[in-house]
Amino acid sequence: MNGEPEVHEESEASERSEEFEARLKAYEGRPAAATGVGRDPVNEPMIRHWCEAMGDTSPAYTGPDAIAPPTMLQAWTMAGLSRSPERTAAYDELLRLLDESGYHAVVATDCEQEYLRPLRPGDEITFDSVIESVSDLKTTKLGAGHFVTTRTDVRAGGALAGTHRFRILKYAPARRPKKQAPGPPEERRPRPVVNRDNAGFWEGVARHALLIQRCTGCGDLRFPWLPGCNSCGSPEWDTVEASGDGTVYSYVVMHHPPFPAFEPPYAVGLIELAEGVRIVSNVVGVPYDKVRIGMPVRLDFRRYDEELVLPVFQGVAE
């Protein structure tokens, strides 16, 4: 049999998928929900309830010059229990198209907010929502599918105050592999999740530097990496390189359950660095049953495979 018919089928399939993706892309920019009006103007009682629920005692949210916590953005647009948001025909159509093409499962993946100006008690809220993007076909652990991002623009007195992006994955669930006889175990360690908030940390690790974030507003050091300062709220930061000295602040010895690529028993330490922040890591170089609280440790970097380097801590014999 020559290869021609297969090549032909392949190109037909890719034409079909291009055509389908073009149909999906045609929904980008179309409204996802009818323009809405906030049920209540921005108001002090809702701000107070929010702050109590969140345990947020920032003085910015009380008093005569109070602003609303920026993360309340979506709260001002919510329809309440008795009303549901009015989805547009375009959005319903897009979801139906995906359903009918086999991407009938759905999972919410993430939400992102941007804040352009503070909201204050008395602000009247309006909002509208568009289908911002429909991704190409993506392969995920759940199955192949398309990410659909809707963007809600929130306005106060007509001026854009912030945006709220909400992303779902419409996917065809991957078939679960049938239980097989135990084969070779996956010997590689799990990969760290690297995102824009912690990428700098992993870049440091790659060149054998353990970087601690430092708030340039108040000077507080923080670890693990976060987008903002827990002490003063500033999003501005730089880094300091850890000296590498530390002590075991606490630890556990892992016996069970076993995980691939980990050989129990082993010690997992909460290491207090000389700089004052703490990091969870492996304590190596000493038998697991010799690890003690207060034991001095020294930073080291261990290569686990061709792509994975992790900071570990060597027990220092006293």
The answer to whether 72 and 115 are in contact (CB under 8 A) is: no
Cβ atoms 226, 232 nearer than 8 A: no
Q: What's phi and psi for 194, nearest 5 deg? A: -105, 125
User: Closest by alpha carbon to 267, among 256, 281, 279, 283?
Assistant: 283
Q: By C-beta, is 52 or 238 nearer to Zn ion?
A: 238
231 binds Zn ion (CB under 5 A): yes
Q: How far is the CB of 53 from Zn ion (least distance, A)?
A: 24
Residue 215 in the binding site for Zn ion (CB under 5 A): yes
Q: Is 212 in the site for Zn ion (CB under 5 A)?
A: no
If the CB atoms of residues 112 and 238 are measured against Zn ion, the closer one turns out to be: 238
Distance CA 245, CA 77 (A): 50
Smallest separation, CB 217 to Zn ion (Å)? 4
Shortest spacing between CB 29 and Zn ion, in angstroms:
39
Q: What does the per-residue mask of binding to Zn ion show for 168-207, with x meaning CB under 5 A?
A: ----------------------------------------
Give 271: exposed, middle or buried? Use CB within 10 Å, 0-12, 13-18, 19+.
buried
DSSP 80: -
Q: At what angle do helices 4-25 and 89-100 cross, to 10 degrees?
A: 160
Q: Which residue in the set 194, 218, 280, 293 belongs to the binding site for Zn ion (CB under 5 A)?
A: 218
CB of 218 to Zn ion, least distance (A): 3
Rg of the chain in Å (alpha carbons): 26
Q: CB–CB of 106/141 below 8 Å?
A: no
Q: Specify the stretch interacting with Zn ion by CB under 5 A; choose among 121-129, 167-175, 213-221, 275-283.
A: 213-221
Binder to Zn ion among 41, 173, 217, 244 (CB under 5 A)? 217
Binding to Zn ion (CB under 5 A) within 234-293 occurs at 234
Residues forming the site for Zn ion (CB under 5 A): 215, 217-218, 220, 229, 231-232, 234
